[in-house]
Structure 1
Amino acid sequence: MSIATSGLHHVTAIAGDPQRNVDFYLKALGLRLVKTTVNFDDPGTYHLYYGDSSGKPGSLMTFFPWREAPVGLHGNGQATTTAFSVPQAAIGWWKSHLTSLGVAVSQVVNRDEEDVLTFRDPDGITIALVAHVQGDPREPWDHGFVPPEHAIRGLHSVTLSVDREEATAGMLVDDLGLRQVHEDSNRLRFAAGEGGAGALVDVLVTPEAPQGVVAVGTVHHVAWRAPDERTQAEWREELVDRGVNVTSILDRQYFRSIYFREPGGTLLEVATDEPGFAIDEPLLELGRALKLPPWLEPKREEIEAMLPKLNLPSESGKPA
């Protein structure tokens, strides 16, 4: 493959109640709601984007909150853990902070020389906070509910659970341009670009685990970065030539996307860095209002009537 990703773009998961989702990711994790929009394929459902101050690629976790959908099953063929990067000295603070909010957290474990704290969000999605051993120069969202010195810097990695690793590892290397950098028992780590936080994926080999079912409380897909539309189009052509069943290029308003599955079953996306989240509202006002793409704008009144009202906290950390 002549094209390689530089790292993670975003992770998209399925939530239940949207207000509960907003409260947890803003108030408990201190992320910024950088875009409030809808699922373009199901406009009666929100699509909520959380990230850093501007929603830079590599900082983002997004959700489709389907209140009436069934609960999913964690297992093979899914991304089973989404990890965020935090400062090295912050793990103890996070354990105390989350415990004070009633979140059940794991013991801190050391993996690949990094301290890791694991817990579940209110829908059961597994989240990890990793004190990245090399440090993380990315700036956090500094107007949220978590003090900046402890705040999340962005995505650290994702874990894909599979029943066998060979084909999945082959696609990560051959089709995404990653390289294997570590192996510990049944966990293999791959890195994009120069590696480090935001450019890592772990492949966890669990042949005894059930096949996962994607629904509420599970990750829907994992997106990798492409710098621009031209590169993405060339990448798609190469994937097609290699026999990968890949979608056409889809307009997601804030980036362009293609989708395909890795052999273990996880849905992957390649998303462009451009144009970003400030194309339809000022940077200081990101996420505060419902934004619709031009093709859905004529149906705004109908769409707003279907969506539950969200009570969003203000940037000062007080109810809006």
Structure 2
Amino acid sequence: MGVMRIGHVALRVMDMEAALKHYENVVGMKVTHKDDQGNVYLKCWDEWDKYSVILSLADHAGMNHVAYKVESDQDLDVFRTAIEAKGVKTEFLKENSLPFVGRMLKFNLPSGHDMRLYAQKECVDTDVGSTNPDPWPDDLRGAGSHWLDHVLLMCELNPEKGINKVEENTRFFKEALGFFQTEQILVGPGGSIQLSSFLSCSSKPHDIAFVGGDRPGLHHVSFFLDSWHDILKAGDIMAKNRTRIDVPPTRHGLTRGETIYFFDPSGNRNETFAGLGYQAQPDKPVITWTEDQAARGIFYHTGVLEESFTNVYT
């Protein structure tokens, strides 16, 4: 039993035509379905399930929900018991509440974010198939992202009022969902405040992350690339498409990942992320970054953190 990986993220966009141009021509996804409500579903070439991103037209940007895939349908009942034992209300959504998806367990995180668990989604295979596959398809577009890798969510943090939703989410994911913590940033007197937390349900450095802010929201959705060379090429693709780049190619100290941050036309922050960093395991000591080195943990090369990086999000 357990959570396997991120399944999809549902995003709000304000201009569907511009959003599709971005996610197809810059990120490198392809449309796999459009429903009667005007929602558009996309996948990356190396993903085998029907979709990993849902775009919905709205008057403001942000995230509607994030969903993670569990091993079996029976796991949903076990997780419901564990989640409700933490005082969190749950709701089962019937099969096909989302197209091509089995029943889903819906609940809100301590931070207020809408999360879903599910076990079944239509499998359409990767674009190179599962029999004698080539290393990549011939029709790659944009950055050619392999898969949706993770999300980073902003959580309310107000030490003066005793509010730290980063800590609450971390405990919830460890105790109710079976994730383990890989890294954290501690600030304040004696490192008493957990500013950020990175958690994994796999061997990746993180499958989800949380950072403290003024309000809950979406900081970024991340798409995986193979290498530093692919990150640089992604930067070229963004420049050719006049994409708004937030942070040019650099390295994280946290997770050791190589990265570019950029925005979709509605203002949702995206990331292309390369490098598995290290093998994450439950018994590996948690990596801690102290307040004096936090900026280098986030941007290792310069050690400089622009205020807008944590203040601007949807």
Q: TM-score range by the shorter chain?
A: 0.3 to 0.5
User: Which of the pair has the greater relative contact order for Cα pairs under 8 Å at 6+ separation?
Assistant: 1
Q: Normalised by the size of structure 1, how large is the TM-score?
A: 0.42
Q: Normalised by the size of structure 2, how large is the TM-score?
A: 0.42
